[in-house]
Structure 1
Amino acid sequence: MLAAGAAQAAAPEFIAFDSGHVRPLAKSPDGTKLFAVNTPNNTLDIFQINNGSLQLITRVPVGLEPVAVAARSNTEVWVVNHLSDSVSVVSLNGTPRVVRTLLVGDEPRDVVFAGSPAKAFITTAHRGQHRTDPSLAGVPGAGDAQLTTPSVGRSDVWVFNPDNLGTALGGLPQRIMTFFADTPRALAVSPDNNTLYVGTFKSGNQTAPVDTEVVCDGFNTTRSCIIRSVTYPGGVPGPKTNFEGKPAPEVGLIVKFNKTSGKWEDVLGRDWTKAVKFRLPDKDVFAVDANTLTEKTFFPGVGTTLFNMVANPRTGTLYVSNTEANNMTRFEGPGKYAGSTLQGKIALSQITVIGGGQVKTRHLNKHIDYSKLIHDSGFDATAKNHSLATPLEMAITSDGKTLYVAAYGSSKIGVFDTAELEANTFNPRTASSRYINVSGGGPSGVVLDEARGQMYVMTRFDNAVKVIDLASRAEVAKAPMNNPEPANIVAGRPFLYDANRTSANGEAACASCHIFGDEDALSWELGNPDDPVTSAAIPGKFIDSTQFPIAKLLFNVKSKINGDDNPNTFHPMKGPMVTQTLRGMRNSGAMHWRGDRATGLYGNDVFDSNVSFLNFAPAFEGLLGMDKPMSKEEMQVFANFQLNVFLPPNPVRSLDNSLNAAQQRGKNFYTGTRASDGIKLVNTATFQTSQNCNGCHTLDPAQGYFGTSGLRTFEGVPQTVKVAHLRNLYTRVGMFGAPSMPFFSQPGTAEMGDQIRGFGFTHDGAVDTLFRFFSAIVFRNQLGAGFPSGTEGDNTRKDVVEFMYAFDSDLAPVVGQQITLNSGNASAVSGRIDLLVARAKAPFVSKELGGNTTECDLVASVVEGGVRRGYFLDTASGNFVSADGATRTLAALKALAGTAGQEVTFTATPPGSGKRIAYKS
């Protein structure tokens, strides 16, 4: 076992996740207190409300990354902990403290109370270790997440009886409701409290990819584009070259379902229905009977990314803040050569009105003339003064006449007359005079206090709560919250979100696609035909000058690769590519799917992630619409933030970091002696021998490699691409159905019916399942390499798929997990406490955590005699140590919980963060 002191000292004290706020503020029913989630501090901050000010009463340690809060009563508050997969039930009787920790599905986001009698509803992803806990046996909806099963909803709402949480390990839900959509985010309740609304977070927009082989403009077939007796339209919409006249690589395309014609069509209106083997019903918002727990109806066409919802207290009309992605528009840049660009028009900020059975989208920035780009004559530089970007939480006056919306990317609160909003008669240029400017940046939550004529606004950039006078619409007070974030995190965050700073029209930002620094579940075609061909000699597998022609011959590739058969070429027209997460990038080397940022404006280094990140600077001009690239100094500030944001722990892998039998078999093949790529030639002098999976997708935590070591490869696709990391594949489940593609030995599917996602795996999202991916010709059995033949091979593929979903990551699965011990649940939770203690002692290797460490730190929070104390587990002695040096054994801590009011909450924190969280939160 590692010496805890040395290991813990090596790890950073703060790990950034940058979780998105959902409902960060709540007011007590009697109007005397304001509750605020302090996300970086992992606390609930409680304020006394005064006229014109807020006074901090206390801070209550909750779970990691709290993002939502709801007051059940004047004395009970529920907090949703996004990273901990938990809900903290906080009692204000006596010293405020957590009295119960509810364990729920992965990445919970929101909580509301609805129905009669009132029930608690919590949104989570349809996955996570707690869904299959034995204590939930018999709970409707609990069990296996069915990651490999088609037509399964991936949107869960956990329902609890708040008056009877049960004695099970993490509380006993009445039901886990599953909706046919991807991960949910926000909830809302009707004025009569009987209808619950559930909003899909990344709901999509009924777009999907068509694979390169099906588009078949010459790749692996003839221009007639007949594949296995199916005739397709053939070819990309064009142009076929960039402005230099250099032929572009063969690529796929994006199609959209036309509700009028009932066909999947490209931008030219051509019918690709035969190439899309599934339907996308686009279920965006669900209406649920909060009493019977039954789905009443759903509403499509609300938006692509849904953030928050609120119901009009007088009319019941529902308002949904969202953005609508413009991913059917092709190319960035000036759009001169191709006549097409989405520069500045990436995702429209909207509020969608749902009422009377109608869904009406309202573009908040309809004053923007997208036809005028920053360098065009007549461009209106004042447009951004009237724009609202990334609309999040909303609040509505008791008379239902005025709606306030927090514009996260604009440092403003939008103010709308609901009648004008519903009729779409508002004018952003005149309405903007009513907008409320908020200092600090990143307004994410808003609560009205009409009795005092005040409004409270959470501002994430400076981690504070602002008091706004409603009459003057002026900020009159600021309540800062303790912020343990390093200066580089605070300084760099605005570059991701602030559309005023990073775009010409005030609507576009990096976060328009990289939602809260992650991804948007879509593909985009962000090539630029007005750019020249570039090159960078990135090392890789099967792509040097001698191997490249042989590799093409092996794959029977008849068209040019990279447009010109130069393995080091990067053509500016690269085709559709899935939005990648911006988390966990620091050890990935050159960025973008192809690694084409290795060489650029601010440096050249194929393995330096920082240099590659700096080279994204031109995207601020070409995509977001600034008048010039971001400066090197500004990009470095951005990089110092983003390259330090982590991916969350894997929610599929067991909390003890073990693998089940199938996952272990998959890992054994992945790292085993049998070559998996299937290309093994006798003459190894002219071609590299086959690799096992790990040979390309390197898994080496000591170097920070989780599927990629920064290399490129060519294996039968029309461009050289980076070997991708594999840490978040579980988030891309939900597209099932694909046509026949010669590169894949698995036959195409029949019509698969309704699915929840339009984009799947690989760089363009065109491969529906990992099982299909592993059927590619590169993995076929050739000379004893590749997957075995027949049933044995299929079973091995299934095992490797299971391992992919449980793939290792920078943090152990236990990080964030917590449980509260009270006087009535010792028998249920003692095993979980023992697990947390064991994992805090278990060795773990992570470059990002300083090398050799343990899986987690373990802290305990308890109120002793009315005084809150935090304890840190010293693994060397096995005792828990407080800030003043006092120690308690685990048995002594457990004994404390036997007294009412002295509940003990144990939390597994990232290694290195434990002492800070125990002593300073």
Structure 2
Amino acid sequence: MNIQNLDCLRVLRSVVVSSAVIVSSVWLSTAAAGSFVNFESGQVRPLALSVDRSRLYAVNTPDNRLEIFAVGARGLSHISSVPVGMEPVAVALNGDNEVWVVNHLSDSISVVDVSSVPPRVTQTLLVGDEPRDIVFAGPGRSRAFITTARRGQNSPTPYNPFTTVGRADVWVFDADDIAAGNKAPLTIVNMFGDTPRALAVSNDGSKVYAAVFMSGNQTTVLRESSVNGDMPAPTANIEGIAGPDTSLIVRQEGGQWLDGADRDWTSKVRVSLPDYDVFTIDANADTPVEIDRVSGVGTTLFNMAVNPVTDTLYVSNLEARNGVRFEGPGIVGGSTVRGHIAESRITVIKKTANGHTVLPVHLNNHIDYSTDLGTPEEKEAALAFPTGMAMTANGQGMYFTAFGSDVVRYVGIRKLENDRFPPNIAQQIAVPGGGPTGIVLDEPRHKAYVLTRFNNSVQVVNFLHKTAGQTLPMHTPEPPEVINGRRFLYDARYTSSRGDSACASCHIFGDTDHLSWDLGNPDDVVTLNPNEFVPGTKPRLADISFHPMKGPMTTQSLRGLKGMGPQHWRGDRTGIDGTGDPIEMVAFRQFQVAFPGLVGRESPLPAADMQAFADFALTVVYPPNPIRALDNSRTDAQQRGHDYFFTQTQDGTGNTCNECHTLSPTEGFFGTSGKSIFRGTGTPSDPTGIPMKVPHYRNLYTKVGFFSASSIIGSENPVTKDQIRGFGFRFDGASESLLSFLGSRSFVFPEGEPQKRDVVRFMAAIDSDMAPIVGQQVTLGQTNRLYDIKRVRLLDSRASVTSPREECDLIVKGPVASQARGWTRLASGDFRSDRLAEDIVTLGTLISLSNAPNSELTFTCTPPGSGVRMGIDRDEDGVFDRDELDAGSDPDDPSSIPA
């Protein structure tokens, strides 16, 4: 090349870069405003260290990437970033050169070749709904085990909301088969539990342990008709006003079902809750199968670790205290969960000749819960929400992350296994950034590597000196309201006086614990109800006020609050304050009383902090519905249910289902418009009448697993079939299924039971915040092209949908000519690359490019408005990614743009 041509090239590059800043800024103006969607996925196994300790792999959950760090004597250095699926939460190594990443929202596994330049996704495996963890075990540790819910569009098992079956699956893949192009699972192991989360492997690789995430605690609920007014004291509030008749929570203990006053209700309970928590799978069998199960481990199970010497199993968990009635001071109530909602524990499971020993160890046994508030000393030593665990090589010690305490804690195994866990601040290592979720040990260097969720960073900790050192931030697209407000959900030391409780004690990762709680407050007063009612649903004489003794109600998710109006089951967090803020914002700020009244803080949060929390909470959304078909169509049965929902009027009100449970995705209504109804007749002869906010339907499909309810009375032959869950549908969880709920009220079904089942199927597949296609992906390479191209066409067709609402943006990522590249789909159906000067290309061109060696391309449907960021402009600075790399600037840093 001569000098003249070189000068021309420099001028051309300058023009291209300048144009990129101008032209792509136009793209940015439309994409950036809503480019990030907060799903608040819980990380499970976010870090993995290579066997030779030269590489650290970390999931970048908000940015949908695998980050690769070089490990050296001086610490970590970032060397590569690989786009994977949406919301990656776990990572595991398959040999030296391959990393498998679990994509929670995409229902997929990204197989990454980390030896290639650049590292690239070679295959995408499709699995069940919401995969969470992955381990390798079995012969030669060549089998991948992955936890998922037993549902989802990729699952071969049809969703069944009508019978008692296991709701927990472990997908098993043979890595050698995958390398040969066979992407079908070896088997899917079904377990009799709800959605699973953590996995662990025995030292010889022959056994895999799988833990149910929200496994319950052998509590259930009796309907108010079963209780028949026989409520334990008190039955009136501080004003002397009698509370309504409500249902009652009972717990299984010593073969009996007892309420909070230890009264025996066994004769009324018609359900058996075996409470299976941890399952053992024979990983070496030709077809892996479940061979054992353990109960009594905990209510919410986070993670597991295996002792490298003894094979003892350790499970980090929470034990909920939902059998205790009431919040508030407990003066009139006599009992309260204030400041003692759930206990953070590590449970020790040892195999014996006759089975197992199960020893739950409370991590905060130093706290005196008999006092109203905790002391500073108690708080400083408290540990909230144990998540990641890492064992020392000699099996004598463990380091674990306390997610709600911003520390890593060391404990000697002998003390742990003998239930002697003393408070010891000297064994804590403060972790800057906050929210530690995962940890791996690098013992020869006396280091631990910790992922901190609040600042999306990897933190290097010197466990010999118990100090935190190097911090490596990972790029995040999260807006300030997400980053600044997240800690108020999880930070137990800031939000509670004892340092062991937070809103996340029940709202697990911003969602729910799938339990009922009686959080009435007899020390409170009756308040007025200003809410708007659905026409025809409020009797003229009805008392619509809010009595503080509301009875058991299931924990509601913090997801999808935006546009939903008043909050809580009754809508008792409501109102307007004259600021012009949406009612949801005002309503959420009213949860301020929960900090001193429930979590146990010394005082309410400062107003600015409460506002930051509200701003954060209103960003969290529901995932796509896993029951609805990916092309957003309905089955014939679902369509019949849909038609009934919108046309069949009901006795009493003359309303259709939709006039109460408004379904209008374009308006942001998914089963409610925020209005209320009155449940009951509102007459003196109906003492159970109470006002209720009309609930949404987006998470109905998660409540399945409770079929022989305690409400079934009047039979001399008790129904004791084993159940997965103790709580089902209705505000208190007392309806065992949607089918029974629809049959227990005055709903009109002219065509009988078949029509009722059609409505259940429709409700389970109802629209959600995101279209079903969001997150779905496929990698197109030189194998399986016929099936994979068909799936590419599906993704492309859904990206073309604009009415009644946009469904997704379609992006493409992968290597071309040994360069990491990206594209995003235009409205025309063509694709814009991450180099502005390049011509737009057709889908057919991209399909052809993927057929070259080592040039696999991954197609992903992303939330509407996110395609530019996720496809071609990672930092949203207006300069496309490849243009930045060509010009020597950083595509991860919005302050770094070409000169």
**Would you call these one fold, judging by a TM-score over 0.5?**
yes
Residue 174 of structure 2: aligned partner: 161
| Cα distance, 1:366 vs structure 2 | 0.5
CA distance in 2, matches of 1:747, 1:660: 37
One-letter code of the match for 1:881?
Answer: S
Which of 111, 119, 127 aligns to 1:96? It is: 119
| Cα distance, 1:100 vs structure 2 | 0.3
| Cα distance, 1:121 vs structure 2 | 0.2
Residue 727 of structure 2: aligned partner: 759
CA distance in 2, matches of 1:884, 1:823: 28
Residue 144 of structure 1: aligned partner: 158
Residue 464 of structure 1: aligned partner: 457
Residue 225 of structure 1: aligned partner: none
Residue 706 of structure 1: aligned partner: 670
- Residue 666 of structure 1 contacts residue 801 of structure 1 at CA under 8 Å; is this kept in 2? yes
* Residue 252 to residue 604, structure 1, CA distance change in 2 (3 Å): farther
Residue deviations 1:824-861 (CA, integer Å, cap 9, x gap)? 1211211100000000001244xxxxxx5x21000001
Calculate percent identity across the aligned residue pairs. 48
Which of 374, 383, 390 aligns to 1:395? It is: 390
Whether 1:715 aligns to 2:679 is yes
Q: How does 1:519-534 map to 2 (within 5 A)?
A: 519-534=512-527
* Residue 595 to residue 748, structure 1, CA distance change in 2 (3 Å): farther
| Cα distance, 1:773 vs structure 2 | 0.9
One-letter code of the match for 1:49?
Answer: V
One-letter code of the match for 1:490?
Answer: I
- Residue 589 of structure 1 contacts residue 606 of structure 1 at CA under 8 Å; is this kept in 2? no
One-letter code of the match for 1:114?
Answer: A
| Cα distance, 1:147 vs structure 2 | 2.4
CA distance in 1, matches of 2:128, 2:33: 28
Residue 340 of structure 2: aligned partner: 345
One-letter code of the match for 1:825?
Answer: N
Q: How does 1:491-502 map to 2 (within 5 A)?
A: 491-502=484-495
CA distance in 2, matches of 1:596, 1:401: 51
Residue 119 of structure 1: aligned partner: 143
* TM, length-normalised to structure 2: 0.90
One-letter code of the match for 2:377?
Answer: T
Q: Which consecutive unaligned segments of at least 5 residues does structure 2 have?
A: 1-25, 681-687, 875-899
Residue deviations 1:309-340 (CA, integer Å, cap 9, x gap)? 00000111111000000001111111111211
Residue deviations 1:139-192 (CA, integer Å, cap 9, x gap)? xxxx22322212x00000000000112888x92000010000000000001111
- Residue 214 of structure 2 contacts residue 513 of structure 2 at CA under 8 Å; is this kept in 1? yes
| Cα distance, 1:241 vs structure 2 | 0.3
* Residue 603 to residue 596, structure 1, CA distance change in 2 (3 Å): farther
Residue 691 of structure 1: aligned partner: 655
| Cα distance, 1:268 vs structure 2 | 2.5
- Residue 112 of structure 1 contacts residue 121 of structure 1 at CA under 8 Å; is this kept in 2? yes
One-letter code of the match for 1:448?
Answer: L
Q: How does 1:842-853 map to 2 (within 5 A)?
A: 842-845=801-804, 852=805
Residue deviations 1:763-798 (CA, integer Å, cap 9, x gap)? 00000010111113331xxxxxx221xxx2211110
Q: How does 1:326-475 map to 2 (within 5 A)?
A: 326-356=321-351, 357-374=356-373, 379-428=374-423, 431-475=424-468
Residue 57 of structure 1: aligned partner: 79
Secondary structure of 1:763 counterpart: coil
| Cα distance, 1:424 vs structure 2 | 1.5
Decide which moves more: 469-478 or 506-515: 469-478
Q: How does 1:591-606 map to 2 (within 5 A)?
A: 591-599=567-575
- Residue 189 of structure 2 contacts residue 290 of structure 2 at CA under 8 Å; is this kept in 1? no
CA distance in 1, matches of 2:803, 2:717: 42
* Residue 798 to residue 11, structure 1, CA distance change in 2 (3 Å): farther
Residue 230 of structure 1: aligned partner: none
Residue deviations 1:32-57 (CA, integer Å, cap 9, x gap)? 00000000010000000012421001
Secondary structure of 2:101 counterpart: strand
CA distance in 1, matches of 2:130, 2:717: 32
* Residue 5 to residue 439, structure 1, CA distance change in 2 (3 Å): closer
One-letter code of the match for 1:208?
Answer: T
CA distance in 2, matches of 1:718, 1:587: 27
CA distance in 2, matches of 1:66, 1:616: 31
- Residue 53 of structure 1 contacts residue 476 of structure 1 at CA under 8 Å; is this kept in 2? no
Decide which moves more: 153-162 or 282-291: 282-291
CA distance in 1, matches of 2:131, 2:29: 31
CA distance in 2, matches of 1:167, 1:8: 43
Residue deviations 1:25-77 (CA, integer Å, cap 9, x gap)? 00111110000000001000000001242100110000000000001122100
- Residue 599 of structure 1 contacts residue 606 of structure 1 at CA under 8 Å; is this kept in 2? no
| Cα distance, 1:864 vs structure 2 | 1.0
Decide which moves more: 82-91 or 273-282: 273-282
Residue 155 of structure 2: aligned partner: 131
Which of 607, 626, 630 aligns to 2:601? It is: 626
CA distance in 1, matches of 2:422, 2:27: 61
CA distance in 1, matches of 2:129, 2:622: 13
Residue deviations 1:535-580 (CA, integer Å, cap 9, x gap)? 12211136787x344xxxxxxxxxxxxxxx522x101110000000
Which of 774, 780, 787 aligns to 2:749? It is: 787
One-letter code of the match for 2:572?
Answer: D
| Cα distance, 1:748 vs structure 2 | 12
Q: How does 1:733-882 map to 2 (within 5 A)?
A: 733-738=704-709, 751-779=719-747, 786-788=748-750, 792-845=751-804, 852=805, 854-882=806-834
Q: How does 1:487-636 map to 2 (within 5 A)?
A: 487-541=480-534, 547-549=539-541, 565-567=542-544, 569-599=545-575, 608-636=583-611
CA distance in 1, matches of 2:673, 2:564: 6
Residue 35 of structure 1: aligned partner: 57
Which of 93, 104, 107 aligns to 1:71? It is: 93
CA distance in 1, matches of 2:580, 2:237: 26
Q: Which consecutive unaligned segments of at least 5 residues does structure 1 have?
A: 133-142, 218-234, 550-564, 680-688, 780-785, 846-851
| Cα distance, 1:594 vs structure 2 | 0.4
| Cα distance, 1:92 vs structure 2 | 1.5
- Residue 740 of structure 1 contacts residue 748 of structure 1 at CA under 8 Å; is this kept in 2? no
- Residue 679 of structure 2 contacts residue 692 of structure 2 at CA under 8 Å; is this kept in 1? no
- Residue 858 of structure 1 contacts residue 906 of structure 1 at CA under 8 Å; is this kept in 2? yes
Secondary structure of 2:743 counterpart: coil
* Residue 543 to residue 255, structure 1, CA distance change in 2 (3 Å): farther
CA distance in 1, matches of 2:265, 2:837: 69
One-letter code of the match for 1:787?
Answer: F
Whether 1:891 aligns to 2:844 is yes
Secondary structure of 1:907 counterpart: strand
Residue 297 of structure 2: aligned partner: 302
CA distance in 2, matches of 1:53, 1:898: 39
Whether 1:912 aligns to 2:888 is no
* Aligned residue pairs, count: 833
CA distance in 1, matches of 2:581, 2:870: 37
- Residue 156 of structure 1 contacts residue 177 of structure 1 at CA under 8 Å; is this kept in 2? yes
Residue deviations 1:685-744 (CA, integer Å, cap 9, x gap)? xxxx411100100011222111111111113253110000001100000000135679xx
Secondary structure of 2:726 counterpart: coil
Q: CA RMSD in A?
A: 2.1
One-letter code of the match for 1:761?
Answer: F
- Residue 490 of structure 2 contacts residue 504 of structure 2 at CA under 8 Å; is this kept in 1? yes
Which of 631, 635, 643 aligns to 2:618? It is: 643
* TM, length-normalised to structure 1: 0.88
CA distance in 1, matches of 2:526, 2:464: 57
Residue 203 of structure 1: aligned partner: 215
- Residue 489 of structure 1 contacts residue 640 of structure 1 at CA under 8 Å; is this kept in 2? yes
CA distance in 2, matches of 1:740, 1:324: 25
CA distance in 2, matches of 1:8, 1:699: 27
CA distance in 1, matches of 2:198, 2:560: 26
